[in-house]
Every structure is written in structure tokens, then in C-alpha cells.
A and B are shown apart, each in its own frame.
Chain A
Amino acid sequence: MSVLVNKDSKVIVQGFTGSEGTFHAGQMIEYGTNVVGGVTPGKGGQTHLDRPVFNTVTEAVKEKGANVSIIFVPPAFAADAIMEAAEAGIQVIICITEGIPTKDMVAVKEYLSDKDVRLIGPNCPGVITADEAKIGIMPGFIFKKGRVGIVSKSGTLTYEAADQVVKAGLGISTAIGIGGDPIIGTTTKEAVELFMNDPETDAIVMIGEIGGSMEANAARWIKENGTKPVVGFIAGQTAPKGRKMGHAGAIVGGADDTAQAKMKIMEECGITVAKSPADIGKKVAEALSVNA
């Protein structure tokens, strides 16, 4: 058992032969991820990184039993790639691509709504289950095996949190980077729910940013259904109102989506909030020792 991906996941890479796809597929294979092949339309039949290249996702599913896909195709074609994977029966689709037009993602969300498939991202670092499968662009060595789950909107801040958890003497079960775009496949609440149901996870780190209501929704769900300690951090306490800070999602809009408002809601819902990003590891260790 683990969340979303494990050593038995049969992974294909869409955009396999491109420069990003090649580099990160190589890193994933080196980590020990079970990469069974890749898809690049028009290059079917070739071999790349000692693995077969297919023209379509359907072929990869049929020939190799692929059930997880990671997408590195350029933004103009990424929505199409997600829908192709879903249509072919892939169960977990992880889209790394940054810069997909929102209109395309409105269509993708609708297309996936009646299918039994989970999309992570887009514009995310991916998912890693420590020592089993790295399906993303994160540096694998930071994620020492353990029993803390991480869900985060941002890439390097996920690494920072994982590193602190490890330095506090603990480790990571799975880390999920859900992405920072206006429309994403899996919300904070859904990721938290996966961890609550995972017997290999004892505590959860939830990292958010200013903008939107995902952390507040997750916090309210945790208040009703939570069974494990949760430590939260919201980046952007000092971000000025109304300015875009890199992520399309990181826009301060109304009164409820400031970092301060979110932290208040999280605290009211029983989440341990780290005010400083330097305290995430320490707070997790404290939360686990209180509950032990």
C-alpha cells in the first residue's frame, strides 16, 4: 500500500523523446521507477533509453499494461495528451507541463469528469513514493523513506519541507505536488484524503499558497474527518494584494484567501500551523510525539 504510485506502477512517459522527457525519464529510471516505455507520435517502433516508443497511449497500455503516465509535452499539446491518456485507460496521469491555456484545462476537466482517472497537476513537480517510484522532476535523494505524507502546490517548497522532515529524524511516505494552476486535477483536500486512508502514513504536511480556497476546504474536511496530525504552512504572508507572484494560482484576491485568513481557518480546524517556513520539520516532529 502507498498513495497513488508504488514500485509496481507501470509508467509511461508522454513526450518521451523530447529533451525534458529524455532527461527526466532517465532520472526516474535511475531512481528505480518502473518505466515501461514512452509515447511520441510518429516515433513508434523505436527504442529510447532501452525502452520501447509507441505512437499512441493505447498501444502502450495494450503492449505493456501501462497504468501511470507522466506528461512532458509542450503546453500547446498537453491538454490533448492528458485526454489521450484518460481515453486509453491510464489510471493516474501526472502532468508536469507548465503554461497550458486555461480554456484547454476547462475542456480537460469536463472530459475527465465521468472517467475513473486521477490527474495530478498540471504545472507540478509530480509524485514520489520514497524508495519505490519517482514520477516527477524532484530530486529523489531528499525523500528518505518514512511515514509522513506531503501535499504541496509548489516544487522547491516541497523539497524544503521534505528535507526538514528528514532532518527532524523522520521520513516521507509519498509526496504529491498538486500544482499551482487555476485548474488542477487533484485538490489539496483530495490529496489529504488519500493520506488519511493510507496505512503507511502517520502524519501529513500540507503546504499552500495565497489565493484560492483549496486549503480552507481541506481544513474543513480535516476537522470533520481527520484521524492523523496535520501540519500546515501557507507561503505568501508578505505578498502584496493583487499582484501575481509567479504561479498563476498565487494571486491574492478577496479577504478569505490571504495567508493570514487561511492560517486562521487551518488553526480553527485543528491543524498545527508553522508560521515560519523554517519550522515545518520541527512542527511535524512535535505533532507526532504528542500523538504517540
Chain B
Amino acid sequence: MNLHEYQGKSILKSFGVATQEGIVADTPEEAVEAAKKLNEETGTDWWVIKAQIHAGGRGKGGGVKLAKSLDDVKRISGEIIGMQLITPQTPPEGKKVNKVLVAQDVYYPGDSEPSEFYMSVLLNRETGRNMIMYSTEGGMDIEAVAEETPHLIFTEEIDPKVGLQGFQARKIAFNLGLSGQAFKEMTKFVFALYKAYEGSDSEMFEINPVLKTSDDKIIAVDAKVTLDGNALFRHKDYAAMRDVTEEDPTEVEASEHDLNYVKLDGNVGCMVNGAGLAMATMDIIKLSGGDPANFLDVGGTADAARVEKAFRIILKDPNVKAILVNIFGGIVRCDRVAQGVIDAYKNIGDIDVPIIVRLQGTNAEEAKKLIDDSGLKVLSAVQLFEAADKVKEVLA
């Protein structure tokens, strides 16, 4: 589950990670109040106004701006709240900004130059262990760094038996070129960050940049936090941080019915049981000359109610020119799925796109007969290649 920057930072702070201070605001007026409060608490008299959306590259799209007065805060917040922010990580139409984070200015002048680093914590799937990935090249697109200067990216793997060790934190601080007070602060930062990662059951932390300030503090200026959705039962307070306005409304509706749906751009809808078979079905649509309009896994219980809901969700997409239902019945009997399809079809009434139903497994022949005898405009198939041929036919 993805979080907003302000939510991620609140989790980091709760584990003792030093972060850039900030207050979230829904309106320009709230932003001004937030700026005043920050001035009292931190002394900052410049502020950074940051759009809160679930995507990176916000600065490039005009979603992060510096305000040098309270008037600036009001004007800039007013521009950013409500805008469609387009970044390299958003869909082409961008994402609507509902909130801004008013944050303290941390690039103030001082005894030394500020410098920016990159740091993330994530699972190394190869080894089954967590690792800290870090780089001297902070504040930049890390994928570009990985491509152009891979020697500037370092990793430190954590042995689950003993956890993060002091020598590892020191190695990180040395590799980042730090010394003196900044070195000590960095080792503290790394320990707190890893503690936060484990304690919050996160899937990924990405802090870009981690800043060494001009007075040698180490702080997280941004925070991309992805929580492990499977661990939310241990963190009820985090579960409440889900922002459904960041998700596709149809996908949210589907998830409320335990349907795993992802909207795509193609013209052939599909409804399948099992994620792997669903992806394979999308592939076969493509190989048959179509483009998948969605991914939809109906799960193990493909009863009439769920099939009907799934049809309704697929049919919401005006691009859908045909629907392929591909169910491999194992424990679920195909004839019952077929009856579900027929009932759903009759309930919806006015389906005007061709539907191809491929049912294979237990009682597949009985299921085909049910479909064929139903009198509905539904094409039936048993083998997967037959279904592919039928898709070709209806698209021709």
C-alpha cells in the first residue's frame, strides 16, 4: 500500500528518524496557518510547498515550489491544490492534487555546503534478506544513476539473525564521504531508518534526498513509503492511511467485491480465475489480434453474483468490444460457473458485445451444453486454442 509523503514521514518520525518538518494542508488558508506554525516551531521563514500525490518526479511537473513569504505560500498553494499534476510517473492525464505539505526550508546557509544522498530499504528477493541501497547521487533519478554510473550505488544486506550492525552503518556513512558530526548523525539515521522499516512492516522505503544540512544534521527530505498490505492486520492505524482517491475508482469498487481488477487500454475484456491464468489469457488476446482491456481475477468462487459484478465492471469500459471468460474449473464445477454466466447475462439484460466463454475442467462438457442451449449470444469453447480462434473471429 502506497502512502503520501506526509504519512510516510509521520511513520519515520515515530521511529526516531530525523525528517524535514512539515504540516499538511487542504486549502491555501490552511497552508498559511501551517507556515506560521512552522515558523514558530522551527524558525524557518521560507517554506517548500509540496503536492501530495502517489507519484515521484513531482518537482519536474511543477508540484514542488519554494515560497519566500506568506503571500507566496497562499498563492503557490492555491496553484498546486486542485491542479492535474503530470510527472514521469503519473498516467498521461496526470493526478489531481488534493493536499499540499508545507515544509520547512532545510537548505539554509551555514558552515558547510549541504549535500544530498539517496537511500532506500527493500527486500532482496534473490537472498530473501532486506538491504539498504544508497548512493552519493541524491536528489536525482536513481534509475538513471544505476544506468550511467552504477559504481556510485552501494548496497548493504542485513543478516536477519543479528539485524543491522554498527560496522554496516559506519560503512554506509564512510562510503557517503562523511566525517565528524555528520558521520555520527548518519549512523544514527541509518539505524533509525532500518528500525522504522522493520517496525512498520514496510515493503519499500525510498528517501531521496537524504540531506546533510549546512550544520551537519542528517534528515529525510522526502519519503516514499510502501507498506506490506499483508501485514496491515498488525497496524490498524496504518490501514486508515489508505487514500482511495489515488486509486482507479473501478479498481476500488472491484476490490470491495474481492475481485482483483486492473484497468488497461485494450478492446477485449477478460474474466479469469487465478492471476497466472489471467495474465496468460491477456497474452492470448494479444496473440489473437486484440488488446487486453483489463486484468481480472475472480478468484476461487466464481458464483453468479461475482460473475455478474465482474461483467458489470468490465462493461463500464466503453472500449470493450468483446469479452473472453476463461475459467479453469477445479474444485469449482464448470456447470455451476456456466449457470452463473447465464444468470448474470440475463440479469444485466442489454449486453451488446460478443462474449466468449471458455470453461475447462470438472464438468466442462455439461457447461458447454448449458451455454449452447441457453439461447444467449454467447460463444462457447473448451480448449484454450478454440477460445483464441473465437476471439479472432469476433474481432475480424
Residues of chain A having any CB pair with chain B under 8 Å? 27, 75-76, 99-103, 105-107, 109-110, 137-139, 141-142, 152-160, 163-164, 167, 180, 182-183, 207, 209-210, 212-213, 233, 235-240, 243-248, 250, 259, 275-279
Contacts and interface: CB of A to CB of B under 8 A. Distances in A.
A200 to B, nearest CB: 24
B361 A213 contact: no
A277 B126 contact: no
Contact of B274 (A155, A277, A279): A155
Interface string B215-249: 00000000000001011011000000000000000
Interface stretch (B40-48, B68-76, B278-286, B342-350): B278-286
Interface of B: 123, 125-126, 128-130, 159-161, 198, 201, 203, 228, 230-231, 233-234, 260, 262, 264, 272-287, 291-292, 295, 297, 328-331, 360-362, 383-385, 387-388
B276 A99 contact: no
A245 B297 CA distance: 9
What are the 10 closest A-B residue pairs judged by CB atoms, nearest first? Answer: A154-B276, A246-B275, A156-B274, A139-B330, A101-B231, A157-B276, A277-B280, A235-B279, A278-B385, A156-B277
A122 to B, nearest CB: 11
A238 B231 contact: no
A13 B202 CA distance: 31
B291 A160 contact: no
Contacts, number: 158
A90 to B, nearest CB: 20
Contacts of A138: 330
Given A106-B128, A138-B330, A159-B330, A245 B262 contact: yes
B203 A102 contact: yes
Contacts of B292: 238
A180 B276 contact: yes
Interface class of chain A by DSSP: mixed
Given A245-B295, A250-B275, A277 B128 contact: no
Given A103-B198, A245-B278, A110 B283 contact: no
B125 A182 contact: yes
B358 to A, nearest CB: 10
A154 B272 CA distance: 13
Nearest to A282: B385
B280 A101 contact: no
Contacts of B233: 75-76
23 contacts: A75-B230, A76-B233, A101-B228, A101-B234, A103-B198, A105-B128, A109-B160, A139-B331, A142-B330, A152-B276, A154-B274, A158-B276, A160-B280, A182-B125, A209-B279, A235-B276, A237-B283, A238-B282, A250-B276, A276-B287, A276-B388, A278-B284, A278-B388
